[in-house]
Structure 1
Amino acid sequence: MAVLAALLLALAGALVAPASAATAGPVRNGVSQPVYSYTKAVRETVWVDTGLDGDGDGRVDRVAADIIRPSEPAAAGLKIPVIMDASPYYSCCGRGNESQLKTYDSKGHPVQFPLYYDNYFVPRGYAVVLVDLTGTNRSDGCVDVGGPSDVTSAKAVVDWLNGRAVGHSARTGGTAVTPTWANGSVGMIGKSWDGTVANGVAATGVAGLKTIVPISAISSWYDYYRSQGAPLYSGTPADLAGDVESSGATSRCRAEQSTLAAGAPYSGDWTSLWQQRDYVASVAKVKASVFVVHGMQDLNVRTVNFGQWWDALASTGVDRKIWLSQTGHVDPFDYRRSAWVDTLHSWFDHYLMGVDNGIQNGPVADVERAPDQWSQDAGWPAPGTVQSAVHLNPGTLGGTSNSGSVSFTDDPSRDENAWAADADRSTPDKTVFSSAPLAGDLRLSGSGSVTLTVTPSTASAHLSAVLVDLGPATIRNYAGSGEGIRTLTTRSCWGTSGTGDSACYLDTAADTTQVGATVFSRGWIDLGHYASLNHGVALTPGTAYTMTVDLAATDHVVPAGHRLALTVAGTDNGLIDPPASRPTLTVDLSRSALRLPLVGGAGSLHVPAKPALDGPGLTSLTARELPLGAAAFR
């Protein structure tokens, strides 16, 4: 063993720059190398004190952290960084396209670590730590759906890895465990709830968290369940907690379940529960670099979540990178596998091992333009983007001012796809504003908004606003079962396999569909929250109300020859719940405004000099330009 340790130390010294030799894994040509044995890796579980007693049993809650790490670095006197995925899904639902669960041997030692992170990164000198959030799998406590318990249970493990928390060899106590093998540098990663927790932990400013990679993640839980007062089709936090909590937690966590139910009223009010779960509000504390990944057609974790998080992070000065796909709620491992693994590898090497590989100086944004076709930008929103006010007139985007009025009646049976299909046909449930066919490509990059002055006929009303690209296209089938991907029967391997933990995963391919129109940005409101999100009120029929609908972040090119359209309607079936009544709504366009993030500003929106014969036209389109980000957040 002594000879092996000496050999490994010499090898590491030959491969790693002297400044990082004491802490980094072996590096050659700017890339960490797979020189360590995966099959001989140390597999252990440590239970970490959280300082909480969420289940009220009089004992401090402990969370289970399953660890896999190469055995050789410690023998060679090297400390290593950690890749951590904290999740509620390790026993109930699984992770990845194949829904992998954690598995254990007869003595309770971890065998299968879901996803490829362990297979790929452990041989390269990283530890992988998978944490069961409180109330799930083998952890104590109660699930609180993004609240202090969720965040603290993951933060406690970061603290333990940095010597600030106590770890134990058993759930009931055992002996104290100290991570003498860890160098204190932690990167958190995960999709959906997992990535959401990474956002929440970063927003605590915890020392030692060097980077996060939130994939399809929530930045404010209100915006998962509500949209400016309108209830979304997402169930309730109490339902979600019940779905993931361990069997033992079900009976002891009834008080937490009641708290979740009471704090998330169907009314859509902005309660203290939501405020507690708004990580954007604490963005100033973020010190970690952030690599955001999101599907622009994600109708589970809607894109407002990445957009507001990304925009808020700009004020912190932390390094940022972003990938935006045309998929729904899908991991990049399943739509751009090889490029993703290489990019993530470089990202972790730089921010966790200190490798000077230049990734922080490369393109900031990768955007999928068509299935498997990507472009890159030096920043995001794209350089040259300007918030531009575009005028609204009945039937058209354009003119020299906003004028006229339009009316429609809420029809809860209709949705955004039906509206888009009927864009050129008058129907009573919507109003459409469209340009003539564009003379050149038009790119929208970022978040827009539409301010509407609306008079309802009843005491309650919901509004939907969607941006549509009117024209034929081949897109990812984000509405399909795979949300834009097909799972194949072949497998490819990413790292080293071990007994009970394969590194080989089912391959995927793009699932595409032909469409005549593409909805690419959306927003929904409850008009009863026109004055404040804190408390909705009954509307007075016949009274005009003004409210701004936030159009969620996107990056889309409307090609030359296509038309850009804004649809305004009531209930977007399948995405928001209908109001208590079925109002007719009249929109005063002279007191309304559309603001779009146009690359090149309003001058980039070129239309023919004469209106087209096959659709709504305009002879000119004027707009005044506003500073980027001028639209209100809420």
Structure 2
Amino acid sequence: MEQRIFAGITVAILLLSSLLLYINNDEEQNDNYYTGDNGLVPVWERVNQNFNTTGSYSYTLVPGQYNINGPESIFIDVDLPDSELGCTITDDCEVHLGLWLPDVPNGTKIPVIADVGPYYDDGDVDALTPANRLGKFLIENMVPYGYAVAQVSVFGTGMSNHCMDFMGLSEQIGIDAAVTWLGTQEWSNGNVGIVGKSYDGTTPWQAAMFGNPHLKTIIPISGLIGVHDLMWKNGSMEARGLAMHNGVYGSFGWDGDSEDWQTVCRGYAEGYANGPAAYLAGDEVNYAGNTYWTDRHFLERTIQNYNGSIYFIHGMQDWNVDPHMAFPAYKQLQDAGFEIKGLFGQWGHHYPDRPGDHNGMAEGRGAEAYPQSVRYDWAQDLLEWFNYYLYDGNMKPALHVEMQDNMGGWRVEQTWPVDDRELLKLPIGEGLNVVSGSGLVGPTNTLTLETDIFENETRISGMPTFHVDVTIPPGQTSGHLYIELSIAGGIHLGHGVMDLRYHEGGRECGQPCTVTGTVNAKMEMFALDVVIPAGKALELVVSQTNDDYIPSPVSSGYVTIGTNQNSVLTLPIIDRGPNDLFMPPIWYDEEI
């Protein structure tokens, strides 16, 4: 009993230490801020706190008090179905992780933060070395505050055996096994959180599908809610969709050792056929019992089974993992009752706090929002989030959206897209005018449209639509469109894409999956939050394709756009002004 009381007192000290340390520190240097009703400093007041704004990434306001022990090398036994082949043939399936622990008093129960992915010793350091991607940041910032940090290799990568299943069933089961192990150790308080970016930002969604009672929070950063969901938009495929599994990640399982034969597993074999098949069809080719793509869709099962919180982070200029992985998923999760917070800045495929990445953004693709995009308060933000959801603290973080517009302004919203937006409809001939082109669109022909001048500064926030009449010529069964919205004579604002077999929008195509004659293509752009300066007009260019989208062979011909009132550009407009914006703690330079 005495040991349990002592451990409980220690946990309370861990929870209070971050608050007491930085309040005492700031009282000595700067007291020009206030705390909210939850006992935490609101995000708009952090600019008045003494954050370190000179590093290559963010730090907590004050370092934690515990020394760092580790790493320990851990192998976890995983029970896979025999149908997965690979390591199941020899019944020795193992997932490997590196583990760092705080030097806390004996008997103290601590939570775990994990970064799970394929890159340890496959494109980055091994799992026993703090990774520059995120592990080093987590170990330096969180272990001294009483958190364990684990770097976990998915199957077929690092020191984990089996094959590179590319987000399939084997990988999902392996991640769930790691969560269970981390949550059931003698030193663990039973609470696990998973955080990571890109592939490592997808593993949190995979873990959440199982409803594991130890998984209390996930922080997906530019992660996938589904594999097909990412690489196909309205039936249109990104170039990498053809060979993402075997061409990009499949080689991770081949390293010249005695376990290379385990790469012969079910998911690896299926990957060869499903990329080309989905390219031709545009959908998930769920025929004859094929479940390759549906096995790799995570959002629906997360909504059904997960019982934890979500801190959703995505770059609004991320064209590696596009923003349609965040929207409308954010509102779906919010409507489903999850405790959820969002952080959405005008960075690319990056972490929120890396100036060395943010300063490389192109004009019209995030450059205008730098350096305000860099969130040097992010480590503190994560600490407050983990203290509440992993240490069962009593200071609950604000559950809101922090959205940055393309000019750098940050504001707080209760959801996104916001509920008070108004729709500005601009039909061709009534506010949207033909500037060049006859309406014929194909490999060498485009159509350029332009709006009237906006007299006042105007904010577009959400997913604009372009519902446009399109005629497919006789003998052709589809077509392909790409639209780009920009300031007339100025910067890019947003874009959208569609295979016309999917002219109703979405991911389902009727059978037979063909289209002829004239249809109204209901195109939706990727999420954007942008400012139109007063005195400027918008330009909309309609072409066959751009960026890295590849029209299917049946969709590569010419089509004709109806330049009539049935073709309508709709802009979601919000009313926000300077008083709605806040400035985070940022790095300044006299030349900026």
TM-score of the aligned structures, taking structure 1 as reference length: 0.70
Q: 1:26 to 1:338 in 2, by over 3 A?
A: closer
Correspondences of 1:306-321 after superposition (within 5 Å): 306-321=326-341
Could you tell me how far apart the structure 1 residues matched to 2:510 and 2:293 are?
Answer: 13
Inter-partner Cα distance in structure 2 for 1:301 and 1:10: 42
**Structure-1 residue corresponding to 2:292:** 273
Determine the C-alpha separation between the residues in 2 that align with 1:459 and 1:286.
42
**SS of alignment partner, residue 199 of structure 1:** helix
* Corresponding position of 2:164: 143
> SS at the partner of 1:350?
helix
Q: Report the Cα distance in structure 1 between the residues aligned to 2:262 and 2:466, rounded to whole angstroms.
A: 46
Residue 565 (structure 2) pairs with residue 555 (structure 1): no
CA contact (8 A) 1:242 1:250 kept: no
Number of the residue aligned with 1:380:
416
Q: Residue 381 of structure 1 aligns to which amino acid in structure 2?
A: P
User: What is the CA–CA distance in structure 1 between the aligned matches of 2:12 and 2:195, rounded to whole Å?
Assistant: 30
Shift of residue 145 of structure 1?
1.7
Cα deviation code 1:383-434 (max 9, x no counterpart):
5224x261321594389xxxxx9612312xxxxxxxxxxxxxxxx6222333
Point out where structure 1 has 5 or more consecutive residues left out of the alignment.
Answer: 18-23, 95-100, 104-109, 164-178, 400-404, 412-427, 472-515, 602-634
Q: Is it true that 1:325 corresponds to 2:345 in the alignment?
A: yes
1:238 alignment partner in structure 2:
246
Alignment-derived partner of residue 223 in structure 1:
229
1:340 matched to 2:348 = no
In the TM superposition, residue 330 of structure 1 has moved relative to its aligned partner by: 1.2
Equivalences for residues 63-78 of structure 1 within 5 A = 63-73=95-105, 75=106, 77-78=107-108
Cα distance 1:394–1:124, how it changes in 2: closer, same or farther (>3 A)?
same
Does the CA-based 8 Å contact 1:454-1:586 persist in structure 2? yes
Q: Deviations over 1:534-585 (max 9, x none)?
A: 57867576x1233322322222222222223333221114343464575332
**How do 1:135-534 residues align onto structure 2 when only pairs under 5 Å count?**
135-163=156-184, 179-235=185-241, 236=243, 237-247=245-255, 248=257, 250-255=260-265, 256-264=267-275, 265=277, 266-267=279-280, 268-271=282-285, 272-282=291-301, 283-335=303-355, 336-360=374-398, 363-371=400-408, 373-386=409-422, 388=423, 390-394=425-429, 396-397=431-432, 407-411=439-443, 429-457=445-473, 458-470=476-488, 516-520=490-494, 522-530=495-503, 533-534=508-509
Distance 1:209 1:538, change over 3 A: closer
Amino acid corresponding to residue 599 of structure 1 in structure 2: I
CA distance in 2, matches of 1:206, 1:59: 24
Please tell me whether the aligned partners of residues 425 and 569 of structure 2 are also in contact (alpha carbons under 8 angstroms): yes
Alignment partners' CA distance in 2, 1:14 and 1:345: 15
Distance 1:528 1:359 in 2: 45
CA distance in structure 2 between the partners assigned to 1:214 and 1:131 by the alignment: 15
Whichever residue aligns with residue 191 of structure 1, its letter is K
Instruction: Indicate yes or no: 2:151 matched with 1:125.
Output: no
Match of 2:27 in 1: none
Q: Summarize deviations over 1:125-147 as a string: whole Å, max 9, x none.
A: 00001111011111122222222
1:58 Cα deviation from its structure 2 partner = 3.8
Aligned partners of 1:198 and 1:584: how far apart in 2? Answer: 42
Q: Equivalences for 1:74-93 in 2 at 5 Å?
A: 75=106, 77-93=107-123
Distance 1:203 1:434, change over 3 A: farther
Question: Could you tell me how far apart the structure 1 residues matched to 2:194 and 2:4 are?
Answer: 32
Flag the structure with higher helix content.
2
Identity of matched residues, %: 25
Aligned residue number for residue 541 of structure 2: 567
Corresponding residue of 2:80: 51
Deviation at 1:195, TM superposition (A): 0.7
Would the alpha carbon gap of residues 181 and 338 (structure 1) be closer, same or farther in structure 2, given more than 3 Å must change? same
For 1:554 and 1:51, how far apart are their aligned partners in 2? Answer: 42
SS in 2 for 1:197: helix
Q: Deviations over 1:37-75 (max 9, x none)?
A: 12x4563423242434531424152211221111324x1
- Structure 1 residues 307 and 406, CA, compared in 2 at 3 Å: closer, same or farther? farther
Query: Which AA in structure 1 matches 2:246?
Result: A
Asked if the contact 1:196–1:217 (Cα under 8 Å) also holds between the matched residues in 2, the reply is yes
Distance 1:234 1:151 in 2: 22
Matches within 5 A, 1:27-42: 28=20, 34-38=64-68, 40-41=69-70
> What is the deviation of 1:441?
2.2
1:102 to 123, 126, 135: 126
Number of positions where the alignment pairs a residue of Structure 1 with one of Structure 2:
491
1:339-366 Cα deviation digits (max 9, x unpaired): 21121121112211123334225x5323
The structure-2 alpha-carbon separation of the partners of 1:127 and 1:202, relative to structure 1 and needing over 3 Å to count, comes to same
CA distance in 2, matches of 1:540, 1:12: 67
Structure 2 contact 183–192 (Cα < 8 Å) conserved: no
Pairwise CA RMSD of aligned residues?
A: 3.3
Contact in 1 for aligned 2:430/2:565 (Cα 8 Å): no
Deviation at 1:194, TM superposition (A): 0.8
Once residues 527 and 297 of structure 2 are traced to their aligned partners in structure 1, the CA distance between those partners, rounded to angstroms, is: 18
Flag structure 2 segments of 5+ consecutive residues without an equivalent.
24-39, 41-60, 286-290, 356-373, 577-592
- One-letter amino acid of the counterpart of residue 432, structure 2: L
TM-score of the pair, normalised by structure 2? 0.75
Say if 1:548 and 1:200 are closer, same or farther in 2 by CA, change over 3 A. farther
Change (3 A) 1:406 1:538: farther
Q: Is the 8 A contact 2:112 2:147 kept in 1?
A: yes
Larger fraction in strand? 1
CA distance in 2 between counterparts of 1:135 and 1:446 reads 39
3-state DSSP of counterpart to 1:142: coil
Structure 1 equivalent of residue 359 of structure 2: none
- The DSSP-based 3-state class of the residue aligned with 1:552 is coil
